[in-house]
């Protein structure tokens, strides 16, 4: 009787181990891709078209030790969201969770970015709590009205190459975007001193996964790996190397 009981306990233990292995291996098992496709807007130092940058480096450290080779592609933001929605990509980066429905967002962010306002230097410097007084513009696909307080007058633009003229001609008071993007717009100005960037707030960034069984597995894996990396401190040197603030203190 004792021998039969021991055999039963051993079988249960083996079944538990097998189930755990199956959960870990399900993303790379038979019939599953051994790579993950991540898409996002090209941003120098963050998501480079050559697969360089802080974000790609962080996400490689998240997924590749778990057996998933990271493949990246830089595309416009709305196209990135569409690729994930159609199942042509696994996740897009640079997401704010409330701006898109039908996607799956994990608990952990991977970075945080400074959101700023670009306007004429002669205009008053805006404050976050006063943005509702001004006419604002931002790139189509972003939903800053869900993250910044009491915005009333805003418009979406299709591209940045006309943004400086829009401000100069008085069609909008401020352009809202991540500071890195605003600095890229300002680099096109013939007289940069005629404009000013004002930092407004800091927003955490997330990957947006497809709301599918594979997407749910990837999001679970991502959260587990991010918790491990933050706890171990392995991410800190990456942020230091790219001269970006560490967002997990």
| pLDDT value, residue 27 | 65
Chain mean pLDDT for the chain: 87
Can you tell me whether residue 155 is helix, strand or coil? Answer: strand
Domain 25-109+206-241 has CATH 3.40.50.300: no
| pLDDT value, residue 141 | 78
Interhelix angle 54-63/213-232, nearest 10 degrees: 100
| pLDDT value, residue 2 | 41
Instruction: Give yes or no for a contact between 41 and 80, defined as CB atoms under 8 angstroms apart.
Output: yes
| pLDDT value, residue 100 | 77
> What is the SS3 assignment for 148-217?
CCCCCEEEEECCCCCHHHHHHCCCCCEEEEEHHHHHHHHCCCCCHHHEEEEEEEEEEEEEEEECCHHHHH
The segments of the chain whose pLDDT lies below 70 read 1-33, 98
152-199 pLDDT, tens digit each = 899 999 999 999 999 999 999 999 999 989 999 999 999 999 999 999
Class of domain 112-203: alpha beta
For residue 49, give Cα distances in angstroms to 53, 56, 94, 104, 211. 9, 10, 15, 25, 26
β-pairing, 111-120 with 174-178? antiparallel
Domain locations along the chain: 25-109+206-241, 112-203
Q: Rounded to an integer, what distance in angstroms lies between the CA atom of residue 125 and that of residue 199?
A: 10
Per CATH, 25-109+206-241 and 112-203 having the same topology is answered: yes
> Which pTM does this prediction carry?
0.74
């Amino acid at each position: 009787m004792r021998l039969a009981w021991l055999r039963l306990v051993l079988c249960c233990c083996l079944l538990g181990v097998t189930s755990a292995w199956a959960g870990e291996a399900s993303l790379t098992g038979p019939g599953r891709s051994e790579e993950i496709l991540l898409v996002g807007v090209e941003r120098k130092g963050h998501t480079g078209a050559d697969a360089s940058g802080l974000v790609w480096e962080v996400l490689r450290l998240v997924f590749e030790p778990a057996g998933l080779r990271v493949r990246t592609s830089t595309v416009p933001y709305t196209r990135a969201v569409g690729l994930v929605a159609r199942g042509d990509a696994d996740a897009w980066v640079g997401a704010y969770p409330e701006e898109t429905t039908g996607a799956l967002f994990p608990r952990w962010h991977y970075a945080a970015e400074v959101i700023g306002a670009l306007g004429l230097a002669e205009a008053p410097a805006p404050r976050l709590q006063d943005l509702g007084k001004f006419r604002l513009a931002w790139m189509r696909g972003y939903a800053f009205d869900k993250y910044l307080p009491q915005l009333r007058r805003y418009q979406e633009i299709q591209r940045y190459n006309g943004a400086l003229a829009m401000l100069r001609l008085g069609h909008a008071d401020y352009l809202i975007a991540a500071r890195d993007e605003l600095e890229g717009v300002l680099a096109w100005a013939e007289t940069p001193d005629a404009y000013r960037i004002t930092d407004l707030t800091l927003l955490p960034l997330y990957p947006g996964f497809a709301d599918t069984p594979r997407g749910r597995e990837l999001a679970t894996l991502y959260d587990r790996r991010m918790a491990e990396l933050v706890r171990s401190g392995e991410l800190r040197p990456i942020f230091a190397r790219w001269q970006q603030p560490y967002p997990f203190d």
